[in-house]
Chain A
């Protein structure tokens, strides 16, 4: 039901049941917000969005107050502006003033608010928060002095990720956000998904930077510098650098990376293809053995850590295939090292990903051979963009270059794995192709590509029925549990930690709206629909790898390098 309300002496239409904020936003009136996150129930905690409602003594929070018919609202009256300004001034009063050195400089919500509200002097001086830097986690760094206690990370961790490794500790001036028993992050149940980093308005949470390390190695003589990047990185870099994404953009990226100083540029896509084929093989084995237990895809490192901590009973059912990044990494340290005639330790292997948990994964137990790690350094898309800017590469005027052999090609299934449900789809397609020698009907996967935290399909492969479930964001695990408790059996289950899959990865740009994330998945689906090679087993690079390279290399011919192991973790849950 629509009705009219008066805002700033103008009449606008509002809908019954919506909040003042949504009515205002729909009508083009913008109000600053801080603690608010879309898709979450509003808390009205930061009071940044206050407006004046005639007849009310106090200012009301627009984000949480439902709009009513009689309302006469002032959104930018002097009283409101003073209130908002004071809030930001108070937040700044105990904030360390090191914006110039801060990770989020020029990209900080607090900074932007201070600018928007025209704060030009320090009116309120408070005691600074005691600095505490937690660098213990392989992926996420906490700088508690920069925290403004908006509570977004706490809510994401509890409501979206369900790991609940963050909460407010202590009270009053001593309040800070921390993990269980106020220990450092490496002891906590954090799964390094990085969604908290993505929602943090300031530099209090950010990724562990590997740029300096990469730079150092780029200048080292006698070392072969190698980089691999996944398909999502191509979109991400285009976004970060403000360039238009085209299908040829990966070739531009190859050229950029070579200009920075990488000797070899590879695509993680081949690793994804290997991963898909190997999982399809495992699935086929399970179905032949008529195993009751489903096979869980273990390509998402955050999900793997989640399973190891919270549901250790699942560990035997996790697919032992390494993740695409690690497979590509190990191929670089074996095949490529042989091809180039260098020792594996003379290769510095960097991986660019949209994921933060990959930083953790590269340090995992079992991701090493003879003391040489598969991947030496992991850069998020944001870091890679920073590196590109640092090297002052002119991106507008650059020649197209192909990636290096033997990891230059990928199937479209590899790019599809970047969205939730894509990996499962690729595995099923491959399995179907292996059994029936033809591809399944695309319409079947329509449901896997739809929205919702839990999706399932069943597909006939010859005489056998294969049931697939996709958990899109860890909140879907609850539904999976209910469904399995009701007696449903699945053959293949894919779990992605970030809602939407890697397109919502924590290594991508900050401040992306839901539409932009949808747009990313749309691009992924488009690529899959239009590209010619849509199965890993049709990709020339993979055929070359399996039929030739692996066979020529007695050391790795048994494919053991593609597999790893998982163990129960003892952390404070």
Chain B
């Protein structure tokens, strides 16, 4: 993994601080998340303190600090989905997976995050499971869905 990181870093100019966000984005695209190692290396590469980078990265919702699960669920929390009851979906998923948004289950299978509008306002609540959209989701459907996803992972 560290070699991947070095390859990415080599594309950028050392000490050029304005490249920080594109650099972090590229690391996340390639590695899936910003590891501590990645943040420390970026810091020494750009001449910024780890604290500063971590502070900046936590400001943005899209940066992750833990590897995502095999199944990554995004739950829309935009206005329309919210009115259609996305909060109950979030609560249900929290209950089913037992982790907080942005975190991954111990077995590494599931992770979920709460996002703003995904552009399906008339079909809310919308969730996105590994790139596949589910519309008009109801909380009661979720246990069934998660069971199915687990089955898929186990038999993959």
Contact = CB atoms under 8 A, between A and B. Distances in A.
Given A572-B40, A573-B40, A180 B58 contact: no
Interface in B36-73: 36, 39-40, 43-44, 49-52, 54-55, 58-59, 65
Contact of A165 (B36, B39, B40, B49): B49
Interface string B3-44: 000000000000000000000000000000000100110011
Interface in A160-215: 163-171, 178-182, 188-189
B59 A164 contact: no
A171 to B, nearest CB: 5
A169 B58 contact: yes
B40 A170 contact: no
A182 B44 CA distance: 18
Nearest to B53: A180
Contacts of B52: 164, 167
Contacts of A182: 54, 58
A168 B36 contact: no
Contacts of B40: 572-573
Contacts of B59: 168, 170-171
B49 to A, nearest CB: 4
A181 B52 CA distance: 10
B58 A170 contact: yes
A181 B49 contact: no
B49, B50, B65: most-surrounded residue (chain A CB, <10 A): B49
Nearest to A167: B55
A431 to B, nearest CB: 38
A504 B152 CA distance: 64
Interface of B: 36, 39-40, 43-44, 49-52, 54-55, 58-59, 65
Given A572-B40, A573-B43, A181 B50 contact: yes
Given A572-B50, A573-B43, A169 B36 contact: no
Nearest to A166: B51
B49 A171 contact: no
A166 B44 CA distance: 17
B34 to A, nearest CB: 10
Interface residues on A, range: 10 to 19
Given A165-B49, A171-B59, A573-B49, A181 B54 contact: yes
A164 B56 CA distance: 13
Interface of A: 163-171, 178-182, 188-189, 572-573
Given A572-B40, A573-B44, A179 B58 contact: no
A168 to B, nearest CB: 5
B54 A169 contact: yes
A165 B51 contact: yes
Contacts of A167: 49, 51-52, 54-55
A452 to B, nearest CB: 25
A189 B43 CA distance: 13
Nearest to A179: B51
30 contacts: A163-B49, A164-B51, A164-B52, A165-B51, A166-B51, A167-B49, A167-B51, A167-B54, A168-B55, A168-B59, A169-B54, A169-B55, A170-B58, A170-B59, A178-B51, A179-B51, A180-B50, A180-B51, A181-B36, A181-B39, A181-B50, A181-B65, A182-B54, A182-B58, A189-B51, A572-B36, A572-B40, A572-B50, A572-B51, A573-B50
A345 B36 CA distance: 43
A398 to B, nearest CB: 47
B149 to A, nearest CB: 29
Contacts of A169: 54-55, 58
A169 B49 CA distance: 14
Contacts of B44: 573
A179, A180, A189: most-surrounded residue (chain B CB, <10 A): A180
A541 B54 CA distance: 52
A188 B36 CA distance: 13
A11 B65 CA distance: 57
A502 B46 CA distance: 33
Nearest to B57: A169
A170 B40 CA distance: 18
Nearest to B56: A167
B45 to A, nearest CB: 12
A572 B51 CA distance: 8
Contacts of A180: 39, 49-51, 54
Nearest to B39: A181
Contacts of A165: 49, 51
Contacts of B58: 169-171, 182
B128 to A, nearest CB: 23
A329 B65 CA distance: 45
Nearest to A157: B51
Contacts of B36: 181, 572
Contacts of A170: 58-59
A180 B55 CA distance: 8
B62 to A, nearest CB: 12
Contacts of A189: 49-51
Nearest to B61: A171
B44 to A, nearest CB: 7
Nearest to B60: A171
A179 B39 CA distance: 13
B36, B51, B55, B59: most-surrounded residue (chain A CB, <10 A): B51
A178 B51 CA distance: 8
B51 to A, nearest CB: 4
A378 B39 CA distance: 36
Contacts of B49: 163-165, 167, 180, 189, 573
B64 to A, nearest CB: 13
A171 B55 CA distance: 9
A90 to B, nearest CB: 22
Nearest to A177: B55
A15 to B, nearest CB: 35
A182 B36 CA distance: 11
A182 to B, nearest CB: 7
Nearest to A182: B54
A188 B51 CA distance: 9
B154 to A, nearest CB: 33
Nearest to B49: A164
A190 to B, nearest CB: 10
A483 B11 CA distance: 32
A169 B59 CA distance: 7
B50, B54, B59: most-surrounded residue (chain A CB, <10 A): B50
A398 B43 CA distance: 57
A164 B46 CA distance: 15
B75 to A, nearest CB: 18
Contacts of B55: 167-169, 178
